Structure formats: structure tokens, C-alpha cells
């Protein structure tokens, strides 16, 4: 178990380092604030992709699909002539919708499990 956790941290650090090197190769400079402001976008992407906001469930493929969906939406907004200042608001609305959907599904599943246990218990 401990080896798996250490391996996950090593892989995450290596991928982050590779991402930083690729960013430097593309743009030629990096400062301490590079990437600042992407937190909401990343959280929105993984929650829209099916990862539970409280953790414990979800898949890498779902998170990747959520990221692809949000990237597609972000790419389509300028074509639709949406003001760029509204993009964070749209990400926030999608995040709230995903959290509300996740919560509604969890409540429904819990109710079904309670009914099943009452009948069989």
C-alpha cells in the first residue's frame, strides 16, 4: 500500500515537471504565477467528469472526458461571441450543476438502499 502511494506521488511529480518543461519550451519563460486561476477549471472538469466532490469515487477516464468537455465549451465560447469574463461564471455554473446532480443521485441511491434493507431486514 505504501509503495502504491509513493508511486502515485512520484508519477504526479514527474508529470507536473514534464508539464512545466513543455510550458517553458512553448512560451520561453515561466514565473511563479503561471497557471494561477486554473483551480476552478480543474475542479469543474473532474466533477463534471463524474468524480465525487467529496472523493472516493470516479475514474481517470471520466475526469479526462470532463476536461475534454470543458475545453470544448471554452473553445466554443469565443465563436458564440460570449464575453471572456463570463467563462469563469460558466465553469462555476457547470460545477454547481455537477455537484447538485451528484448529490441528487447519492440521495436517491441511499433511499433505494434503505428501502431494500427494510424489506429484507
Band of the pLDDT at 116, cuts 50, 70, 90?
A: confident
Reduced to 3 states (helix: H, G, I; strand: E, B; else coil), residue 81 is: coil
Question: CA–CA distance from 113 to each of 36, 50, 54 (Å)?
Answer: 42, 21, 20
More confident residue, 52 or 64: 64
- In whole angstroms, what is the distance from residue 103 CA to residue 121 CA? 26
Residue 59's pLDDT is what? Answer: 85
Nine cell digits for residue 64: 479526462
Residue 120's pLDDT is what? Answer: 67
pLDDT more than 90, % of the chain: 18
Residue 8's pLDDT is what? Answer: 92
What is the value of pTM for the model shown?
A: 0.64
A 10 A CB-CB count for 103 gives 13
Segments of the chain assigned E as strands: none
Average per-residue pLDDT for the chain:
85
A 10 A CB-CB count for 98 gives 21
* Distance, first Cα to last Cα, the chain: 35
Residue 121's pLDDT is what? Answer: 58
Kindly state the average pLDDT of the residues 58-85: 86
Residue 4's pLDDT is what? Answer: 92
Residue 85: is its pLDDT beyond 70?
A: yes
Amino acid at each position: 500500500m505504501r509503495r502504491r502511494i509513493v508511486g502515485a506521488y512520484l508519477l504526479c511529480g514527474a508529470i507536473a515537471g514534464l508539464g512545466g518543461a513543455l510550458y517553458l519550451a512553448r512560451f520561453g519563460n515561466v514565473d511563479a504565477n503561471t497557471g494561477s486561476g486554473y483551480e476552478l477549471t480543474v475542479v469543474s472538469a473532474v466533477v463534471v467528469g463524474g468524480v465525487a466532490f467529496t472523493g472516493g469515487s470516479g475514474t481517470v477516464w471520466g475526469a479526462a472526458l470532463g476536461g475534454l468537455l470543458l475545453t470544448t465549451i471554452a473553445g466554443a465560447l469565443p465563436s458564440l461571441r460570449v464575453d471572456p469574463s463570463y467563462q469563469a461564471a460558466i465553469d462555476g455554473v457547470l460545477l454547481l450543476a455537477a455537484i447538485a446532480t451528484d448529490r441528487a443521485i447519492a440521495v436517491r441511491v441511499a433511499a433505494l438502499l434503505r428501502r431494500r434493507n427494510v424489506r429484507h431486514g
